[in-house]
Amino acid sequence: MTKEPVKLPEKLAATQAGVVGLGLMGTSIVTCLLAAGHKVTGLDKNPSRRRGLRRRVGKFLREMRREGLLARDPRSVVRNLRSSGDYADLRDCGIVIECVREDLKLKRQVLRKIEEAVPSETLIGSNTSALPISQLQRGAEHPERILGIHWGEPAHVLRFMEVICGRQTSLERAEHVVELARRWNKEPTLVRRDVRGFITNRLMYAMMREAFHLVEAGYATPADVDRSVRNDLGYWITFAGPFRYMDLTGIPAYAAVMRDLLPDLDCGKNVPALMRRVVRAGAKGVSNCKGFYPYTAGQARLWQRLFLKFSYEIRKLALKYPEDVGDRPVKRKNPTARAG
C-alpha cells in the first residue's frame, strides 16, 4: 500500500525561520531560507558576525541570481533578514536551526535558550555533523520537536539534506521538515533512527581514517590520496551511490575484494596523529592559510571561489541525472522496426 504524501501545514510553509550561529554554515543556511521565501532572523552572540551578515548573504544571493537559482531581486530578498543577539527575537519563528560549534554542551545550552524563547510547536533543528540527536534531546521541554537537520556546505547550493529523528522525535514533524526541505530545493533523506554521524558522515569519516592511515604509514602523500580519490570516486559518486555503483560494475568482484581487503583496513579508534599535529599547529585550512597544503592569502581566496563555482556546476550536472534517471520508460525511436 502506498503511503499518502505528507501534507505540509500552510502555516509552516510560510513561516518565519531562525538560524542560531552565523558562521560558515549559518550564513549559507540563512541564504537558502531567504531564497526559499522565508523571513529569517539570524542570531549570533558575536556582534561582528551579526554586522557582516547582510553583506555576506547579499553576495550569496546575487550569485544565486546569476546562476539562475533565484527569480527575485536579491535586494528585496535580503530585506527579509534581520540579525539579533537576543534569543527573545526568535519568538515568532515556526522553525529554528541551531548552527553553533560542534560541542554537545554548547549545543544543549543553545537548544535550551531556543526552547525558552519559542512556542511549544516551533520545530527546532540542529545542524550537528555527528552528535546523536537523542543526546541533544535530553532534558528538553518538548523533545518531540527537536530533530537533526544536516546541511552540506555551501547550504544554498547543495541538494543534500539529512533529516534525522532522535529517540523522542515525532515522525510526523520530521516528515514536515522533509516536505519543507523540498521547498528549500533539497533532495532530503529521512534518517528514521538515531545514529551518530548519520549517513554521509559515517561514510566520509571511514574514508578519511583510511586516508590518514595511507599517509601516516608512508604509502602515499596527501596529494597522492587526493588525486586518486578525485579521479576515481570523484567521477562516479555524483551519478551513483555505492550500491548503484556495484550494480553497474559487477557485484561478485566486490564480495571477493571485501573478503581480503576489509581485515586490512584501518580500524583505529583515535584521532590520527597527523590530524592532532596539524590542529595543534593552529591549522584551520583556507580560512587561515594553514592546512595540509600551504596557501598564500590569494591562493586561499581562489580555492574558496573555485569550490563555490564547482558546487554550482556539479549541481547542474547532477540535475541532468536524477536519482531515478534509469528507471524511466525507454522511448523506442522506431517501434515498428522490431515487429518483423
Ligand X SMILES: NC(=O)c1ccc[n+]([C@@H]2O[C@H](COP(=O)([O-])OP(=O)(O)OC[C@H]3O[C@@H](n4cnc5c(N)ncnc54)[C@H](O)[C@@H]3O)[C@@H](O)[C@H]2O)c1
Distance CA 197, CA 283 (A): 23
- Type of residue at 72: R
- Name residues contacting ligand X, limited to 3-42 (CB under 6 A): 20-26
**Stretch touching ligand X by CB under 6 A, among 93-101, 219-227, 277-285, 332-340:** 93-101
Query: Which of 127, 134, 137, 169 forms a contact with ligand X (CB under 6 A)?
Result: 127
> Binding string to ligand X for residues 150 to 169, with x set by CB under 6 A, is what?
-x-x----------------
Contact flag: residue 115 with ligand X (CB under 6 A): no
Q: Which stretch binds ligand X (CB under 6 A): 52-60, 102-110, 186-194, 290-298?
A: 102-110
Q: In the chain, where does DSSP find H-type helix?
A: 10-13, 24-35, 47-51, 53-66, 74-78, 104-117, 133-137, 171-183, 200-216, 222-231, 233-236, 242-249, 251-261, 273-280, 297-320
Asked whether position 63 contacts ligand X by CB under 6 A, the answer is: no
CB of 172 to ligand X, least distance (A): 25
Q: Count CB neighbours of 333 within 10 A.
A: 5
For residues 216 and 291, which CB has a smaller minimum distance to ligand X in the complex? 291
Q: Using the rule CB under 6 A, which residue among 7, 11, 55, 101 binds ligand X?
A: 101
- Cβ closer to ligand X: 151 or 184? 151
Q: Using CB under 6 A, count the residues that bind ligand X.
A: 23
DSSP calls for 114-138: HHHHS-TT-EEEE--SS--HHHHHT
Looking at residue 236, its amino acid is W
Question: Applying CB under 6 A, which of residues 15, 31, 41, 128 lies at the interface with ligand X?
Answer: 128
Cα atoms found within 13 Å of the Cα of residue 228, Cβ hemisphere only: 10
**CB–CB of 115/38 below 8 Å?**
no
Under rule CB under 6 A, residue 49 binds ligand X = yes
By beta-carbon proximity to ligand X, the closer residue of 25 and 64 is 25
- The footprint of ligand X (CB under 6 A) covers 20-26, 43-46, 49, 99-102, 106, 110, 127-129, 151, 153
